Amino acid sequence: MSEEGGWTRSYLVRMDHLAIALFLAVLLIGGLAGGWIISQTHLTDYSLLQAENQRLKNYRDKVRHTIINNSQYGLISSDLLQELELSIDLTDDQGRPVSILDERKGGIFVDQIYINFLENIPTFPPVNGYVTRGLLLHELDLQVNHEGIDIAAPAGEIVAAAASGLVVLSRWTEDLGNMIILSHGDDYFTVYGHNQTNLVAPRQWVERGQPIALVGDTGISHGPHLHFEIWKDARSIDPRLLIDLYRTQDISVETYD
């Protein structure tokens, strides 16, 4: 009843209606709370996916950079280049096609020995040591050229083949002392110099990682080390471009691209 008098008002709520109203209120509050929790979970997942997506993009860029740098050595198939949508000039300075895996058709036979090019790219470190001298190529003064790297290692340490191949030379030379040259197919050659002892003979087949010599200081040398060269298409390649160990264990003063 109001203070001024007048009509009285009363309200009657049935118990079943009240129960239904409370039930609907609980459902509404529970739905809102559940939706908030689920939305927060999805927001967290979205943030994680964004971070993972950025990481994968950075990784993809690094892979592309590596592929572009190594495509000139014939390590990358044309299918992979097309799949990654990389525009790379697959020709050399004379306009001739650069060797790629599709063109190799798997390998060749040398004296009835099958050479698989995928297994015969010189990427195995011949010896574990530090690079003390890098490449030095001088167009005007060829006598000062140093067409390989020097890897310091204890005398008598095993020298392994950087890839499977055929021994084309194993003998004494005035400059590099006991020297070995391996042919790996597709115009890949590796040179191992200043050996204490050569363990292989010409026309012998060697497997990747097989011992072929012992570290020494024969020839014109100033201490035990391995002189190591990689040649492709009659051009010297810096081994640090193909072998990660020598890139990380490089203490030489020469710079390389």
75: confidence class by pLDDT, cuts 50, 70, 90: low
Q: Taking 80 as the threshold, does the pLDDT of residue 252 lie above it?
A: yes
Q: Taking 60 as the threshold, does the pLDDT of residue 30 lie above it?
A: yes
- For the chain, the average pLDDT equals 78
Most confident residue range from 52-56, 72-76, 167-171: 167-171
120: confidence class by pLDDT, cuts 50, 70, 90: confident
Average pLDDT in the 129-144 region?
Answer: 73
Average pLDDT in the 148-173 region?
Answer: 95
Q: Taking 60 as the threshold, does the pLDDT of residue 100 lie above it?
A: no
> 221: buried, middle or exposed (CB in 10 Å: 19+, 13-18, 0-12)?
middle
Q: What local confidence, expressed as pLDDT, does residue 126 receive?
A: 95
Residue that wins the pLDDT comparison between 104 and 106: 106
Percent of the chain at pLDDT above 70?
68
Residue that wins the pLDDT comparison between 32 and 149: 149
**Lowest mean pLDDT, pick from 26-30, 74-78, 104-108:** 104-108
Q: Taking 90 as the threshold, does the pLDDT of residue 6 lie above it?
A: no
89: confidence class by pLDDT, cuts 50, 70, 90: very low
Residue that wins the pLDDT comparison between 169 and 51: 169
Q: Taking 70 as the threshold, does the pLDDT of residue 236 lie above it?
A: yes
Q: Taking 70 as the threshold, does the pLDDT of residue 168 lie above it?
A: yes
pTM here? 0.58
Q: What local confidence, expressed as pLDDT, does residue 62 receive?
A: 72
